[in-house]
Amino acid sequence: MKKLSITLLLLFFAIKGFAQETDASRNFDPSFVHTVFFWLKNPDNTADRANFESALATLLSKSKFAKTNFVGVPPKATRDVVDDSFTYQLTLTFDSAQAQEGYQTEPAHLKFIEDASALWQKVVVYDAQGAVQ
């Protein structure tokens, strides 16, 4: 009986974990994806990183256009094809290219640029629209 209870409990958590992954993938909207890589001028400066992260958090909480977001830092590259030279990476999704255009001129985005642009030395943007369903 105890083995059966443990098996059922493990099965429940496995199913629950799969359902959460499925729900998370539904939240990601591939209609328009905006990916930005930032290279900070002083990537080892904790105050600069804190200021950048604060400006980014404000942007993400106030944007009226961005649907979902992901902020990341590079892991140590283990393959030659992986570029780990950036400091931060931001991915935002939008309903459409038009929504992304609105984001470019919205006050939250302009404030982010005003507050954080002095901290970075380079920014590279990749935009993509969903191609395969």
Domain residue ranges in the chain: 24-129
* pLDDT tens-digit map of 53-104: 999 999 999 999 999 899 999 998 889 898 999 999 999 999 999 999 999 9
Q: Which residue has the higher pLDDT, 93 or 21?
A: 93
Residue 27 confidence (pLDDT): 67
Predicted confidence band of residue 133 (pLDDT cuts 50, 70, 90): low
* pLDDT tens-digit map of 97-131: 999 999 999 999 999 999 999 999 999 999 998 87
- At the topology level, CATH places domain 24-129 in Alpha-Beta Plaits (3.30.70)
pLDDT at residue 3 above 90?
Answer: no
- b/e string for 69-106 if b means 16 or more Cβ within 10 A? eeeeeeeeeeeeeeeeebbbebbbbbeeeebbebbeeb
